[in-house]
Amino acid sequence: MTAKIIDGRAVAKEVRDAVAADVAAMVAEGKNPPGLATVLVGENPASEVYVSMKHKACEKAGIKSIGHVLPATATQEEVEKMVEDLNEDPEVHGILVQLPLPDGLDDESVLRTISIEKDVDGFHPLNIGRLAQKGREPMFVPATPDGVLYLLKNAGVVLEGADAVVLGRSFIVGMPAALLLIKENATVTICHSRTKNLKEKCAEADVLIAAVGRAEMVKGDWIKPGAAVIDVGTNRVDDPSVERGYRLTGDVDYKEALEVAGYLTPVPGGVGPMTIAMLLRNTVRAAKLAYGN
Ligand code: GUN
């Protein structure tokens, strides 16, 4: 079997085009464009890259984005004061505090300060709590797992009754992805560093989400033939044969998985582009809510 490749770039472009059309319609009605405020604390190079990508994508979609930077020495009160000011700003519809925060800052307290109507990352404890409750809906769903579910549904993968395995239990991806799959009536197993018989558990999955951050950990014989495999990992692996000295690879051994899986996302070009597209979509939703539609 050769897996059907899920092209995250193409799907993300469709989502971004729809977002841009929504923004254009809003502006044509005389409204301010949606506004996204980002808060970056400290000097984490990866976070700086991610935030800059989010700003560029906003600009392309017609969303106004405002970047706020605080030094790593910022106090809890300073970070939360910034969030409180953004809560009050009518031109800001979405607030994103880039994680991780520097050591010593309490991220839960900061995330709780964000007004839930502006919580476009979906990390406010209330939004996460609603995600975990049957019959309740969060105002916003975290972008990466939202993108994972979008790709699965868009590819026509049946989730109802499926056996799903989520590798990784992070706050940003693994846990919310598992909660979303439960909402779709999948039967979900969450695996992590202490899980026994990991390979055997993965090999029973109709849907396998890999989000552990370990390069090519999931081998071909970890995959049930025909399974849908979504690779959330983005790992740097040394590669002297290329000029920059490294290549990006996922948590899944792509070549091996290609021979076994039914559906597979590449890295790069799979889940990554979806994260930003879903954030933009959440920001437009936040603006629509603020405008009463
Ligand atoms: N750090 C890694 N991914 C994310 C994300 O989706 N949102 C925020 N705020 N921080 C992150």
Q: Identify whether 4 is a catalytic site residue.
A: no
Q: What is the pLDDT of residue 293?
A: 77
Residue 108 has pLDDT above 80, yes or no: yes
282 lines ligand 1 (CB under 6 A): no
Among 54, 97, 99, which is best to mutate for testing ligand 1, by the most ligand atoms less than 8 A from CB? 99
Q: pTM of the prediction? A: 0.97
Q: Identify whether 54 is a catalytic site residue.
A: yes
Tens digit of each residue's pLDDT (9 = 90 or more) over 164-201: 999 999 999 999 999 999 999 999 999 999 999 999 99
| Distance from Cα 260 to the centre of ligand 1, integer Å | 31
Helices vs strands, H then E, count in the chain: 10, 11
Q: What is the pLDDT of residue 1?
A: 74
What percent of the chain lies above the pLDDT cut of 90?
99
- Please count the other Cβ atoms lying within 10 Å of the Cβ belonging to residue 50: 17
Q: List domains and CATH numbers for the chain.
A: 30-115 (3.40.50.10860), 142-272 (3.40.50.720)
143 lines ligand 1 (CB under 6 A): yes
96 lines ligand 1 (CB under 6 A): yes
Q: Say how far apart CA 224 and CA 206 lie, in whole Å.
A: 7
| Distance from Cα 99 to the centre of ligand 1, integer Å | 5
Q: Say how far apart CA 293 and CA 288 lie, in whole Å.
A: 5
Tens digit of each residue's pLDDT (9 = 90 or more) over 65-94: 999 999 999 999 999 999 999 999 999 999
How many CA within 13 A on the CB side of residue 233? 28
Tens digit of each residue's pLDDT (9 = 90 or more) over 220-250: 999 999 999 999 999 999 999 999 999 999 9
Q: Identify whether 76 is a catalytic site residue.
A: no
| Distance from Cα 167 to the centre of ligand 1, integer Å | 18
